[in-house]
Amino acid sequence: MFKLRHGTCPRLLRHWAEGVRDAGKAPRSSVQDGGRHGGTSNLSGTLLIDISEQTATTQGGMSEGAGQQDQSEPQRGEAFRIETVLHSGDQLRRGDAGAADSSAVDGEVGSREQEGGPLPAASEHHQEQRGSVVTLESVSACAGDGPESYGETSEGTASSKLERTDSAVHKSSECSEPGGLDQRQAETSQGQEMSGPSESSGEPPAGGPEESKERSRDSKHVTAAWETLVRWGRFWRNLHKGDVTDALTRTSKICVFGGGSFGTAMAVMLARNKASLDVVMLVRDPQLVASINSNHLNTRYMPNHPLPPNVRATTDPAEAIEGAQYAIHAVPVQQSAAFLKSIALLIPASLPIVSVSKGLEVSTLETMAELIPRALGRKGHPVAVLSGPSFSVELMDKKPTGLVAASRDPELARACQQLLASKYLRINTTRDVLGVEMAGALKNVLAIAAGIVEGMGLGNNCMAALVAQGCAEIRWLAEKMGAKPATLAGLSGTGDIMLTCFVSLSRNRSVGVRLGSGEKLDDILASMSQVAEGVATAGAVIALARKYRVSMPVLTAVARILENELTPKKAVLELMSLPQVEEV
Ligand SMILES: NC(=O)C1=CN([C@@H]2O[C@H](COP(=O)(O)OP(=O)(O)OC[C@H]3O[C@@H](n4cnc5c(N)ncnc54)[C@H](O)[C@@H]3O)[C@@H](O)[C@H]2O)C=CC1
Ligand SMILES: O=C(CO)COP(=O)(O)O
């Protein structure tokens, strides 16, 4: 059964429909709507599509009411059913940012992931549409897993599920997960409304048989919700099995600009996904080239992690770029324009560049997605950015990580997913390039502030307040520039802010810690062998804040400390003396 309402995931619907059509498998559970909304099909006793609330979202260029079914007459038949779903999907798809794919690759030789692996990564559009309620029994059925796997077999059970879902839909206007995960919450609140809290209703005290019954019902819902998610993942992977459009399948060479820690990590992610992929790092130091090619070690930036044999290095840009189908750009932001200009003639207009660099160019206030085409002298050059909470060393150690690939071209964002995603690396996609880039750039400046608080020993309350304030400042500026709130709340925003502000592996945070302990910036930078992008970006942020007339007390304080115009102590005193204001 599908319960469609505002923002139901369009791709899921489309894939579901394609799955039914292609596999010739019909959903098994038979349920009937009470006819409340008219948009009900009792189809061969197998499927209900309730599109009662399927008013299309206004996001992504969709109009209210798009994809709504004729409410007058229930219609019958398999063809109608599929058409309805396809129609809905097509209408909704206009706002789709490109899809989730389960193209996770099993560590070796590009072998596709088997059952039981991670859930598919999502598109940003998909994430935004978490308001949807899609009960995925139909997906299970479509994927060949019957509802019996949920421990519920009868049609009667399916019907009762429908009723429960209905109540959830009408109770909860904001479901947050696919599969109706908020159903339990809605039911719980409904139960409370009906019977009230035990104290006033005279119900048995906590720990009694009623509570134990409730606990067991809760646990059943949790299990069902979890299994629904797992089936959703399997369903998705099945649909994409043998997908010949997979970017990884059709790619034989990728070059990586920059042989630092993150360039190396990206080269390794790609090389691990496909043993026959030629991954060529373009670096400046011949000794590093020799070490990578002979010993499979990046002795300078990643000395404890052997590189796969299909990672090689060169100092020759022509050798690196020739025949490459994608380029990963991992050169520090302030050096990027000069670097790209120096190799611009070698870069074909069709070579997509995926930037992982996080920062703003000080002289132009540009993000990387703006800088790259300008430096190449080619407006419209294909660009994507990859960002999110990701220390290179943890990727090398195969620690589970989530990133977001942003591009105006959804196919390119999807290609990033397909090339890099693995069992330990999930990659969402989005079209909100600006949001991802602004979040990635500004979090580095905030991380310096967090480090300062740490270095000064100001305590946890202060740290939390500072980071919360910093998040708000990032949001104020980025949204004013056009970023989407969902992006700022996602992996590249909140996710990376948490990682960089709270974890001592961060170089930006480390700069802050040392500033907070009284060291001079010049000494700190002189002792570092890697880039801390927030140091340069801080000035650019403040210039942008002025341009967009946004007040950013914390980030401005960081910029002033870095310019040696304010001591950390004075900055804290000034910030604490600012007027107490209403929270915005
Ligand atoms: N290390 C990490 O965990 C992450 C880093 N990033 C971002 O990736 C970018 C690169 O970071 P890392 O690799 O960690 O930095 P890094 O400092 O380890 O390495 C920088 C690399 O760029 C090269 N480089 C510097 N100036 C150059 C120039 N003028 N021309 C050509 N190459 C030049 C260096 O030789 C080095 O190979 C930064 O913007 C960083 O914010 C993003 C995510 C995570
Ligand atoms: O961007 C990063 C993690 O997501 C790396 O942060 P640092 O550059 O501060 O080390």
pLDDT confidence bin for 218, thresholds 50/70/90: confident
| Residue 248 pLDDT greater than 80, yes or no | yes
Reported confidence tier of residue 516, pLDDT bands at 50, 70, 90: very high
d(CA 122, CA 95): 14
- 480 noted as active-site residue: no
pLDDT, average across residues 244-258: 91
- Give the pLDDT score at 223: 92
pLDDT the model gives residue 112 = 34
Pocket test for ligand 2, best of 403, 500, 524, 533 (most atoms within 8 A of CB): 500
Check residue 238 and give its pLDDT.
86
Ligand 1 atom 1 nearest Cα: 262
Instruction: Kindly report which listed range (185-189, 272-276, 316-320) carries the lowest average pLDDT score.
Output: 185-189
Catalytic residue among 25, 443, 547, 570: 443
Nearest Cα neighbor of 556 from 539, 572, 532 is: 539
pLDDT in tens, 447-482: 999 999 999 999 999 999 999 999 999 999 999 999
Instruction: Kindly state if the Cβ of 533 falls inside 6 Å of ligand 1.
Output: yes
Q: What mean pLDDT value characterizes the chain? A: 75
**Percent of the chain's residues with pLDDT above 90:** 59
Q: Which residue has the higher pLDDT, 320 or 149?
A: 320
Q: 166 or 533: which carries more pLDDT confidence?
A: 533
Task: Say if residue 150's pLDDT is above 50.
Answer: no
Cβ neighbours of residue 271 closer than 8 Å, sequence gap 6 or more: 277, 279, 307, 308, 310, 311
360 Cα to the center of ligand 1, angstroms: 14
pLDDT of residue 28: 33
User: pLDDT by residue (tens digit) across 361-389?
Assistant: 999 999 999 999 999 999 999 999 999 99
Instruction: Classify burial at 475, counting beta carbons within 10 Å of its beta carbon; exposed 0-12, middle 13-18, buried 19 or more.
Output: buried
Fold of 434-577: N-(1-d-carboxylethyl)-l-norvaline Dehydrogenase; domain 2 (1.10.1040)
- Among 425, 531, 533, 537, say which to mutate for ligand 1: greatest number of ligand atoms within 8 Å of CB: 531
| 187: pLDDT strictly greater than 90 | no
CA-nearest of 444, 445, 443 to 560 is 445
Residue 257 confidence class, pLDDT cut points 50, 70, 90:
very high
For residue 121, name the pLDDT band (cuts at 50, 70, 90): low
Q: Identify which of 530, 508, 393 has the alpha carbon closest to the alpha carbon of residue 442.
A: 508
Is the CB of residue 100 less than 8 Å from the CB of residue 106? no
Helix, strand or coil, per DSSP, at residue 366: coil
Residue-range domain boundaries for the chain:
2-240, 253-431, 434-577
Above 70 in pLDDT, residue 494? Answer: yes
Mean pLDDT value of segment 273-286: 98
Tens-place pLDDT, residues 544-570:
999 999 999 999 999 999 999 999 999
Q: Is 375 touching ligand 1 by the criterion CB < 6 Å?
A: no
Q: List pocket residues of ligand 2, CB cut-off 6 Å.
A: 358, 389-391, 444, 447, 496, 499-500, 506-508, 533
pLDDT tens profile 533-542: 999 999 999 9
Helix runs in 71-154, H state only:
78-93, 124-128, 137-142
Closest ligand relative to 507 C-alpha: 2
pLDDT(75) > 90: no
Quick check: 31 pLDDT over 60? no
Given a contact cutoff of 8 angstroms between Cβ atoms, the answer to whether 296 and 311 are in contact is: yes
pLDDT of residue 240: 75
Q: Taking the domain 253-431, which CATH number applies? A: 3.40.50.720
Average pLDDT on 412-417 reads 97
What's residue 215's pLDDT? Answer: 86
Task: Ligand 2 pocket test: pick from 427, 499, 515, 531 the residue with the most ligand atoms within 8 Å of its Cβ.
Answer: 499
